[in-house]
């Protein structure tokens, strides 16, 4: 995302943050405390990949307000446990109003849990694999239509492509970029947002996990 004061807005609490962070108390809390800060916990990374998939066709606020329901339904996104879910579990989840009841997305989550296990085995952790895709420089939008702010980049296209090759579902390049923004692989807090420098500082303090092949 481009920097600039007009993309920063002052909230009712007089705090200047990225324009989307003032939409509601839920958005503000998510923006202020989570979004854009580096994460190396496998289960949190898996959770975000799954929730971004569930968001497809919906607003993020819908997913955010159901997040605790998702966590309970999917064992805090412990992919070793989710991978063992059965057809009976799928049917039970389809009756669970605390989550988004979409068969394809539920089955994709179980499928992706199995894929996450394979990545963890091969690379030591899901985090080590994911962080190997951290771009070294800011990247422009790389989608089919011009956009003022990136919704996908060459790196997000590559991450999506590579995960799909490994069997993952519901993880296109736009979803991949939203994931990268949220998990701190890129810092898209706007200059002037009170989190902009915090995200930079946290990334400096953060040591990305690595793997050797």
Query: Scanning the structure block, which residue is given the tokens 């919704």?
Result: 151
Catalytic-role residue among 43, 47, 52, 152: 52
Q: What is the DSSP letter of 16?
A: E
- Spell out a b/e string for 133-157, using b for 16 or more CB atoms within 10 Å of the CB, else e: beeeeebebbeeeeeeebbbbebbb
Residue among 60, 107, 162, 211 flagged as catalytic: 60
In whole angstroms, give the CA distance from residue 160 to residue 143.
13
Contact 45, 58 (CB under 8 A): no
Instruction: Locate the DSSP E strands across 104-196.
Output: none
Catalytic-residue membership of 91: no
Question: 5: burial class by Cβ within 10 Å (0-12, 13-18, 19+)?
Answer: exposed
**Would you call 204 helix, strand, or coil by DSSP?**
helix
Active site residue 30: yes
CA distance 39 to 199: 12
36 SS3 class: coil
Catalytic center residues: 30, 52, 60
């Amino acid at each position: 995302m481009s920097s600039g004061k007009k993309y920063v807005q002052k909230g009712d609490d007089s705090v200047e943050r990225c324009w989307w962070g003032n939409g509601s108390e839920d958005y503000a809390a998510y923006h202020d405390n989570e979004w854009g800060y580096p994460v190396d916990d496998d289960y949190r990374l898996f959770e975000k990949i799954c929730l971004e998939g569930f968001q497809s066709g919906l607003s993020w606020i819908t997913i955010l307000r159901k997040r605790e329901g998702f966590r309970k339904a999917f064992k805090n996104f412990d992919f070793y446990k989710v991978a063992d879910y059965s057809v009976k579990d799928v049917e039970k989840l389809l009756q669970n109003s605390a989550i988004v009841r979409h068969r394809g997305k539920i089955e994709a989550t179980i499928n992706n849990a199995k894929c996450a296990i394979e990545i963890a085995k091969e690379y030591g952790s899901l985090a080590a694999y994911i962080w190997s895709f951290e771009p070294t420089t800011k990247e422009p939008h790389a989608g089919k239509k011009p956009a003022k702010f990136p919704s996908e980049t060459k790196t997000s296209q590559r991450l999506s492509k590579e995960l799909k090759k490994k069997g993952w579902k519901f993880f296109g390049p736009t979803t991949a970029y939203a994931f990268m923004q949220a998990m701190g692989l890129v810092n898209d807090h706007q200059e002037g947002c009170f989190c902009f420098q915090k995200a930079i500082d946290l990334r400096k303090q953060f040591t990305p996990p690595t793997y050797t092949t």
